[in-house]
Amino acid sequence: MSAATYAVPSSGFRLSKEHLAVAVPVAVIAAAGGFLVSHYLNRRSCKKGQVNTCVHKDSPKVVHSFDMEDIGTKAVYCRCWKSKKFPYCDGAHTKHNEETGDNVGPLIIKKKDA
């Protein structure tokens, strides 16, 4: 066996220095390409998913409107679409965040102290 040939013990497999010089960069490029493609596809699939899975699905668009005078001193609104009291927050985002790794929280509107 010459100094430019590498052998795997007990397998009979031999790899020359020239083959190794080609195989390693090709393997690195293939791994990086696979990672980038999977990352790109995951981002695309995330954009296609529905946010609202259960609130007023019979309506073409879910819209809520409130008068500032009716809010009182503070109102907490759901932004995860999982609240059983939608459009008000009931803390359902906590379970959603634990299950998905998301970081969504409520929208809090309050009046400034005079």
Tens digit of pLDDT at every position of the chain (114 positions): 455 666 656 666 777 888 888 888 888 999 999 988 887 777 655 555 778 888 888 999 999 998 888 888 899 999 999 999 999 999 999 999 999 898 999 999 988 875
pTM (2 decimals)?
A: 0.53
What is the pLDDT, as a whole number, of residue 67? Answer: 87
What is the pLDDT, as a whole number, of residue 18? Answer: 83
For residue 76 the two structure tokens come to 């907490």
What is the pLDDT, as a whole number, of residue 82? Answer: 92
The residue type found at 80 is: C
> How many whole angstroms separate alpha carbon 2 and alpha carbon 22?
19
What is the pLDDT, as a whole number, of residue 45? Answer: 54
What is the pLDDT, as a whole number, of residue 108? Answer: 94
Q: Is 52 helix (H, G, I), strand (E, B) or coil?
A: coil
What is the pLDDT, as a whole number, of residue 4? Answer: 62
Fold entry, domain 51-113? Ribosomal Protein L9; domain 1 (3.40.5)
CA angle (75, 109, 72) in 5-degree steps: 50
Name, in order, each residue with C-beta under 8 angstroms of 42's C-beta and a sequence gap of 6 or more.
Answer: none
**The one catalytic residue among 61, 82, 110, 112:** 61
Q: Is 63 helix (H, G, I), strand (E, B) or coil?
A: coil
Q: Which residues pair with 15 in a beta bridge?
A: 6
What is the pLDDT, as a whole number, of residue 52? Answer: 85
Instruction: Tell me if residue 61 is catalytic.
Output: yes
The domain locations on the chain are 16-48, 51-113
Name, in order, each residue with C-beta under 8 angstroms of 114's C-beta and a sequence gap of 6 or more.
Answer: none
What is the pLDDT, as a whole number, of residue 37? Answer: 87
